[in-house]
Amino acid sequence: MKKGGCYAALGGIIFLWLSCAHPVIKPEEDNYAEPVGYNFRFIARDEGIEDPSLDRRSYYRIFIDKAEEGRTSTGLESQDKVYEGTLSPNRHLVTVEKWVLDEREGRYVKLNNVDQPKPNFFYFDVPEKRVVVLTMTADRDGNARFTVSLEKKRRSSP
């Protein structure tokens, strides 16, 4: 019996030492941002543009569940273009149209359908109390990839 008591006491001491020696880690849920002003962020990126003369000014029109909701910011094709909005917690369909500046006409024109990113749509879910970030990355051949993530809390500076 004395041996068992010693092992129990030693185990308790080790447990206390380990508990004090390591910081408390917050559950993963605490690392996600809660919606403030928007709960959906769409980011469009174009990759593979290596010549400044081919880097056109562009934006994307955003359709949610087949209704036009707005457009991204305007920038060079090589830059991120962003749209933020508020959606109900549910499954949604986003569809995008790419528009580029026609420098000769001095106005933005929709790219021909054959030149639009493919696919130009994506289904995604919006959970409650979370910010969904949908990123579309299109290569120079028009092939698009979509990735979904949840926005993390911003770290406060010390």
Domains and CATH numbers, the chain: 29-150 (2.60.40)
Distance CA 39, CA 129 (A): 8
In this predicted structure, the answer to whether residue 157 has a pLDDT above a threshold of 70 is no
Helix, coil or strand: residue 6? helix
Distance CA 70, CA 72 (A): 7
Instruction: Output the pLDDT for position 20.
Output: 46
- Nearest CA to 54 out of 46, 66, 44 is that of 46
Q: Residue 155 carries which DSSP code? A: P
Instruction: Output the pLDDT for position 3.
Output: 59
In this predicted structure, the answer to whether residue 38 has a pLDDT above a threshold of 70 is yes
- Nearest CA to 44 out of 146, 152, 150 is that of 146
In this predicted structure, the answer to whether residue 85 has a pLDDT above a threshold of 90 is yes
122 within 8 A of 134, measured Cβ to Cβ = yes
Higher-pLDDT residue of 16 and 72 is 72
> What's phi and psi for 157, nearest 5 deg?
-80, 145
> What's phi and psi for 72, nearest 5 deg?
-75, 175
